[in-house]
Amino acid sequence: MSPEKLVRPEILALTAYQVPEAQGMVKLDAMENPYPLPPALRRELAEALSRVDLNRYPEPTGRRVRELLARRMNLPAGMELLLGNGSDDLLQIITLAVARPGTTMMYPAPSFVMYGMNAALCGMKAVAVPLREDFSFDAGAFLVRMKSERPELVFIAYPNNPTGVLYPEEDVLRVIRAAEGLVVLDEAYHVFAGRTFMQRLGEHPNLVVLRTLSKLGLAGIRLGYLAGRPQWIEQFNKVRQAYNVNVLTQAAALFMLERLEVLEEQAARIRTERAVLGAALAGLPGVTVFPSQANFFLVRVPRAERTYEALRRQGVLVRNLHPGLRDCLRITVGTPDENRILLTALQEAL
User: Domain of 220: which CATH number?
Assistant: 3.40.640.10
Q: Which of 203, 227, 259 is the last residue of a domain?
A: 259
- pLDDT category at 308 given cuts 50, 70, 90 is very high
Q: Show the 3-state SS of 206-259.
A: CEEEEEECHHHHHHHHCCEEEEECHHHHHHHHHHCCCCCCCHHHHHHHHHHHCC
- pLDDT category at 35 given cuts 50, 70, 90 is very high
- Pair 231, 285 in one domain: no
- Asked, for residue 129, whether it belongs to a domain, the answer is yes
- Pair 84, 203 in one domain: yes
Question: How far is the C-alpha of 167 from the C-alpha of 294, rounded, in Å?
Answer: 12
pLDDT in tens, 41-69: 999 999 999 999 999 999 999 999 999 99
pLDDT value at 18 more than 80: no
- Asked, for residue 46, whether it belongs to a domain, the answer is no
Give the mean model confidence (pLDDT) for residues 273-280: 98
Q: Which of 225, 259, 293 is the last residue of a domain?
A: 259
Q: Are 331 and 317 in contact (CB under 8 A)?
A: no
Three-state secondary-structure class, residue 64: helix
Q: Are 135 and 290 in contact (CB under 8 A)?
A: yes
Residue-level pLDDT at 323: 67
CATH number at residue 15: 3.90.1150.10
- Asked, for residue 47, whether it belongs to a domain, the answer is no
Alpha helices in the chain (DSSP H): 3-6, 9-12, 39-50, 63-72, 86-98, 113-122, 139-149, 169-178, 190-193, 230-239, 247-257, 260-282, 304-313, 336-349
Burial of 134 (0-12, 13-18, 19+ CB in 10 A): exposed
Question: How far is the C-alpha of 165 from the C-alpha of 159, rounded, in Å?
Answer: 5
- pLDDT category at 17 given cuts 50, 70, 90 is confident
- Asked, for residue 220, whether it belongs to a domain, the answer is yes
- Asked, for residue 136, whether it belongs to a domain, the answer is yes
Residue-level pLDDT at 259: 97
Residue-level pLDDT at 298: 97
Residue-level pLDDT at 328: 95
- Pair 240, 268 in one domain: no
Three-state secondary-structure class, residue 326: coil
- Pair 106, 147 in one domain: yes
Q: What is the CA radius of gyration of the chain?
A: 21
Burial of 125 (0-12, 13-18, 19+ CB in 10 A): middle
Order of strands across the sheet that contains 296-300: 288-289, 296-300, 328-332, 319-320
pLDDT value at 287 more than 80: yes
- pLDDT category at 9 given cuts 50, 70, 90 is confident
- Pair 314, 230 in one domain: no
Give the mean model confidence (pLDDT) for residues 196-209: 98
- Pair 143, 179 in one domain: yes
Q: What percentage of the chain exceeds 90 in pLDDT?
A: 89
CA angle 15, 85, 166 (to 5 degrees): 75
- Pair 170, 272 in one domain: no
Task: Please give the single-letter amino acid code of residue 189.
Answer: Y
pLDDT value at 220 more than 80: yes
Q: Which of 259, 289, 318 is the last residue of a domain?
A: 259
- Asked, for residue 45, whether it belongs to a domain, the answer is no
Q: Are 333 and 297 in contact (CB under 8 A)?
A: yes
- Pair 230, 310 in one domain: no
Domain tally, the chain: 2
Residue 75's DSSP bridge partners are none
Question: How far is the C-alpha of 295 from the C-alpha of 292, rounded, in Å?
Answer: 8
Residue-level pLDDT at 12: 87
Residues 6+ apart with CB under 8 A from 221: 213, 248, 249, 252, 253
- Asked, for residue 277, whether it belongs to a domain, the answer is yes
pLDDT value at 307 more than 70: yes
- Pair 215, 275 in one domain: no
Nearest to 236 by CA among 95, 47, 350: 95
- Asked, for residue 293, whether it belongs to a domain, the answer is yes
- Pair 31, 71 in one domain: no
pLDDT value at 142 more than 70: yes
- Pair 327, 316 in one domain: yes
- Pair 254, 272 in one domain: no
Burial of 151 (0-12, 13-18, 19+ CB in 10 A): buried
Domain span including residue 18? 3-38+261-349
